């Protein structure tokens, strides 16, 4: 009986000892699951952040598309409406830069072609060819800081014919235009004056620095040119041009003598996007001398960022 009484407490002790370890695996399992869950969430967050960063980089480096309107064809008509000639314009691939003009007769026969060359987006050469492909003449252009400084004309044999040289002020506005012959002798020059950022006066000088004539330019609301008057050195009015607008677009130019006699009128017509689709040239009586009709196309240009 003593042994039985002694064993009963021991059984409780051993029983308690045998059941206590059963709780430890549950705790370890829960802790492991919590750690695994935290690790998975961290990996998800890291992956999401990495994906977001990669997407942002991809979007930043994605090409930017821009729509530009390009002149494709210009047709010229006589006053009676018959076709005189037409010009077809070609552009560099994925670019608005004009690279070729081809002039055709009414019978679709090539009459003349012009080819342009560029460097860093700036036009540097212009070659004009005859119908049979012979070089007729060429021009070369030189720039400084993106501004045209020299424009030289050469004949088919490369002999210089004339050269224009341009000077600018600190704001990039043209201040002087000088013209030279093929031997480098200055023939004359023109100077430009500005007020409030607008060209308000143009002075034309001879080789001897004598003022030959000058023009005064008047502006209206929105900086639109309203009138340009040409004067002789003594200040007498030689001629003038009046500019008219409709819906902020130039609609008409009227050319007058110094005695206010109408000499010529130029009328402009536009499409709904503001592109000049038709230009009419009229004489003093209002009869049409010539009409130009333009055809345009919209091209999407893709530009790589970065």
pLDDT tens, 269-290? Answer: 999 999 999 999 999 999 999 9
Looking at residue 35, what is its pLDDT?
54
Whether the CB-CB separation of 270 and 52 falls below 8 Å is answered with no
Does 197 score more than 80 pLDDT? Answer: yes
**pLDDT tops 80 at residue 16:** no
97-136 pLDDT, tens digit each: 999 999 999 999 999 999 999 999 999 999 999 999 999 9
Which comes out higher in pLDDT, residue 1 or 207? 207
Is the pLDDT reported for residue 261 higher than 70? yes
CATH, domain range 65-303: 2.40.160
Condensed to tens digits (0 to 9), the pLDDT of residues 233-249 reads 999 999 999 999 999 99
Q: What pLDDT, on a 0 to 100 scale, did the predictor assign at position 305?
A: 66
CB of 229 closer than 8 Å to CB of 213: no
Q: Tell me, what's the pLDDT at 45?
A: 57
5 Cβ contact list (under 8 Å, min separation 6):
none
pLDDT over threshold 90, residue 140: yes
Closest listed residue to residue 70, CA positions, set 53, 86, 93, 40:
93
Give the C-alpha separation, 190 to 294, whole Å: 32
Taking the CA atoms of 46, 49, 55 and 60 in sequence, report the sign of the dihedral they define.
negative
Mean pLDDT, to the nearest integer, of 7-16? Answer: 34
Domain positions in the chain are 2-61, 65-303
Quote the pLDDT of residue 43. Answer: 61
């Amino acid at each position: 009986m003593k042994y039985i009484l002694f064993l009963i407490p021991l059984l409780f002790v051993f029983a308690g000892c045998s059941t206590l370890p059963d709780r430890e695996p549950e705790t370890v399992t829960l802790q492991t699951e919590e750690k695994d869950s935290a690790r998975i969430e961290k990996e998800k967050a890291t992956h999401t952040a990495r994906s977001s960063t990669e997407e942002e980089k991809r979007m930043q480096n994605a090409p930017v598309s821009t729509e530009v309107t390009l002149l494709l064809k210009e047709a010229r008509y006589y006053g009676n409406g018959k076709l005189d000639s037409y010009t077809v314009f070609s552009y560099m691939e994925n670019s608005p830069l004009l690279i070729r003009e081809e002039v055709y007769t009414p019978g679709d026969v090539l009459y003349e072609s012009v080819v342009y060359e560029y460097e860093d987006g700036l036009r540097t050469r212009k070659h004009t060819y005859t119908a049979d492909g012979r070089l007729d003449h060429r021009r070369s252009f030189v720039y400084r800081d993106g501004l045209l400084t020299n424009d030289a004309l050469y004949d088919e044999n490369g002999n210089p014919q004339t050269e224009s040289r341009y000077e600018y002020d600190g704001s990039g506005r043209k201040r002087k235009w000088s013209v030279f012959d093929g031997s480098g002798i200055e023939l004359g020059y023109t100077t430009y004056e500005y007020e409030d950022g607008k060209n308000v006066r143009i002075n034309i000088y001879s080789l001897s620095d004598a003022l030959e004539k000058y023009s005064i330019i008047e502006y209206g609301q929105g900086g639109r040119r309203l009138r340009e008057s040409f004067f002789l050195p003594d200040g007498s009015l030689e001629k003038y041009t009046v500019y008219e607008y409709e819906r902020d677009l130039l609609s008409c130019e009227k050319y007058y003598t110094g005695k206010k006699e109408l000499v010529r009128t130029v009328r402009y017509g536009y499409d709904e996007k503001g592109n000049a689709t038709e230009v009419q040239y009229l004489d003093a009586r209002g009869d049409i001398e010539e009409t130009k009709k333009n055809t345009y196309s919209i091209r999407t240009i893709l530009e790589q960022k970065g």
